[in-house]
């Protein structure tokens, strides 16, 4: 059984700076309600997986209402779960909540952050791979929005992210550095569950990279599939979304 976790619990603070009324950014659309980030993510992934676990928090009632109204065709695959710590924990707790809700017979699980848009061919490569997957993109590596992936001198992967969106640092020699595509596939769900079980209380409050790093940090580069996402957009702000939307509707 193939599962997918999409996390959309965050406060959308950067996105809401330019709006009169605050929204959950994955639900925002202009004109066509099916052009929200969530709808577009589901439409590009649902046929490749057996279940989609959506982790919400901020404006959770809006999320469930949107799913009920606009995701009718694919609703039989959807599970929604509430992250009660969306406002005081980091992004890692959303991933923990998603993992907790996975079906017991899940053989593999993919994880995609909910503010992304990508082309279907690339995400198909992630979801159909027979190996653990790390994704990368071709965008510039900017400290205010990028998650950095680098491989150390022994070809093990490491992630670097600044929650203040200010400055990024790598403190050791590396063989390669990428802008992370922020989507992953774990071929061993039992190991992911064990990693979550062993997290310290402080780690539970951290970012999802606590779990991602613990899983992938012991897997060498040649044992992974590194998928280059060709068409990749991270919609942190309203302007980011509008740029993507204009591309979609041209």
- pLDDT, one tens digit per residue, over 57-76 is 999 999 999 999 998 776 78
Count other Cβ atoms within 10 Å, centred on residue 161. Answer: 18
Q: Is residue 235 assigned to a domain?
A: yes
- Residue 19 located in a structural domain: yes
Does the pLDDT at position 146 exceed 60?
Answer: yes
Positions of E strands within the chain: 2-7, 51-56, 78-82, 108-113, 116-118, 133-137, 148-152, 157-160, 174-186, 225-229, 232-234
Mean pLDDT over 10-30 rounds to 95
Are the C-beta atoms of 41 and 116 separated by less than 8 Å? Answer: yes
What is the domain extent for residue 190?
A: 2-136+180-200+229-249
145 is a domain residue: no
Q: What is the CATH number of the domain that holds 245?
A: 3.90.550.10
Query: Would 155 be classed as within a structural domain?
Result: no
Q: Is residue 59 part of a domain?
A: yes
pTM of the model: 0.96
Residue 224 lies in a domain: no
| Residue 66, domain member (yes or no) | yes
Report the C-alpha gap between 137 and 168 in whole angstroms: 17
Q: How far apart are CA 83 and CA 89, in angstroms?
A: 10
Q: How many domains does the chain have?
A: 1
Q: Kindly state the average pLDDT of the residues 34-45.
A: 95
Give pLDDT, residue 124.
Answer: 98
Average pLDDT over residues 211-215: 98
Residue 168 lies in a domain: no
Instruction: Give the pLDDT score at 246.
Output: 76
């Amino acid at each position: 059984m193939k599962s997918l976790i999409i996390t959309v619990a965050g406060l959308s603070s950067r996105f809401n700076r330019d709006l009169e009324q605050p929204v959950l950014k994955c639900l925002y659309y202009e004109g066509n309600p099916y052009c929200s980030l969530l709808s577009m993510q589901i439409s590009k992934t649902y046929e490749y997986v057996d279940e989609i676990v959506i982790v919400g928090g901020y404006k959770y009632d809006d999320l469930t209402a949107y799913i009920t109204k606009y995701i009718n065709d694919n609703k039989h695959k959807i599970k929604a779960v509430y992250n009660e710590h969306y406002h005081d924990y980091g992004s890692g707790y959303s991933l923990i909540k998603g993992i907790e809700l996975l079906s017991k017979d899940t053989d593999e699980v993919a994880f995609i952050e909910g503010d992304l848009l990508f082309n279907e061919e690339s995400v198909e490569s992630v979801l159909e791979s027979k190996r653990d997957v790390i994704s990368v993109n071709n965008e510039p590596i900017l400290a205010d929005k990028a998650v950095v992936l680098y491989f150390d001198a022994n070809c093990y992967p490491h992630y670097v992210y600044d929650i203040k969106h200010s400055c990024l640092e790598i403190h050791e020699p590396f063989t390669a550095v990428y802008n992370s595509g922020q989507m992953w596939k774990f071929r061993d769900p039992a190991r992911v569950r064990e990693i979550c079980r062993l997290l310290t209380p402080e780690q539970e409050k951290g970012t999802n990279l606590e779990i991602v790093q613990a899983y992938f940090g012991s897997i060498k580069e040649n044992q992974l599939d590194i998928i280059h996402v060709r068409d990749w957009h991270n919609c942190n702000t309203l302007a980011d979304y509008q740029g993507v939307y204009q591309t979609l509707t041209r």
